[in-house]
Amino acid sequence: MRSTVRMGVLGCADIALRKVMPAMEEAGNIELAAVASRDPAKARDVARRFGCAAADGYDGLLERADVDAVYIPLPTGLHAHWAGRALAAGKHVLAEKPLTCDHATALPLVDQARTAGLWLMENYMFLHHGQHRRVGELVAEGRIGALRVFTARFGIPPRDASDIRYSPELGGGALLDVGGYPIRAASHFLGPELDVVGSVLRMDPARGIDVAGHALLSTPSGITAELSFGFEHSYRSRYSLWGDQARLTVDRAFTPPPDQRPLIRIESGGRTEEPSFPADHQFRNVTESFARSILQNADYAPHAAAITRQAELVDRVRAQARLVTA
């Protein structure tokens, strides 16, 4: 049996070059085999930098026998098309989030992967940082008492006007880009029965996309999730779990640098505790987890359910939204 997964990278996006490909080099169970770009010269430059082959375009990458799996960091609107093509070529797929723009597109992709016996993974990399596992343990230990409310905020300042996040044709918009993080975190902590109560999306009519939003979700028992996100904010990346005895807050929740110790704060009765936890590398962790799932033939069903549940919640936030103009 192979001890490594031979990865091909389909696209030379910034996140691939700065974050994911260096993490793959550090991973113990991944071998970078090839990279492809629409620009052959760029593919050659990146291949030299990472010591792998330059494929002959995206189709050429999918035809390579020395590629077991592909990583897709393309714009959101292209994820589904190339994930489907990769699965059809017999390759496992790690796609940047969100995997698709809607639930109806996610379902057949998940079924395609399941039928082919391949792994299709949506790269919500923050879930693979150890701080969230420790938060779950603290809640289970009763440190905040009974959980009442989950809140999450993920906002970034306005981008350059040419940024693909502003392109509706490429799957732009705040809900799909930054909104997916607090939604996915809410599901992680509150479970699969979470549903949307209501939402607001702030629209930019000139661009035809949402630039900010808010959503209220609830479990059947009434535990609520209050979520905010957007492209027109000072930077914030935080969530809190508020119980009947204490509140636990995580800063830099979604984008912690690999050398930064997590900042977890527990507030109760006028006292504040900040337990110390080690730094962690979520980019390396997610790539190793993807490869390990393939090599160990892990059960795909839980991840398939998470993909479709996330897409369904995003759809419901969109469908129930009160639209206001920027």
Provide the CATH number for the domain around residue 24: 3.40.50.720
- Give the whole-angstrom CA distance, residue 213 versus residue 9: 32
Average pLDDT for residues 267-275, to the nearest whole number? Answer: 95
For residue range 197-252, what is the model confidence (pLDDT) as tens digits?
A: 999 999 999 999 999 999 999 999 999 999 999 999 999 999 999 999 999 999 99
Active-site residue flag, 19 = no
| Residue 326 predicted with pLDDT over 80 | no
Q: Assess whether 98 and 137 both reside in one domain.
A: no
d(CA 102, CA 184): 15
Which single residue is written with the structure tokens 């059947």? Answer: 220
Find the mean pLDDT for residues 103-109: 98
In this structure, are 69 and 204 located in the same domain? no
Amino acid identity of residue 120, one-letter, is L
Is there a single domain that holds both residue 62 and residue 180?
Answer: no
pLDDT at res. 2: 82
Tell me: do 86 and 131 sit in the same domain. Answer: no
Confirm whether 233 is domain-assigned.
Answer: yes
Q: Is residue 291 in a domain?
A: no
Residue 1 in this model has a pLDDT that exceeds 80: no
What percent of the chain has a predicted confidence (pLDDT) above 90?
Answer: 99
Q: Do 19 and 109 have their domain in common? A: yes
- For residue 196, give its domain range: 127-284+313-325
294 falls within a domain:
no
Nearest to 229 by CA among 294, 155, 158, 131: 155
Q: What is the CATH number of the domain that holds 320?
A: 3.30.360.10
pTM for the structure as a whole: 0.97
Note whether 131 and 112 are same-domain residues. no
Let me know if residue 197 belongs to a domain: yes
Q: Are 30 and 287 in contact (CB under 8 A)?
A: yes
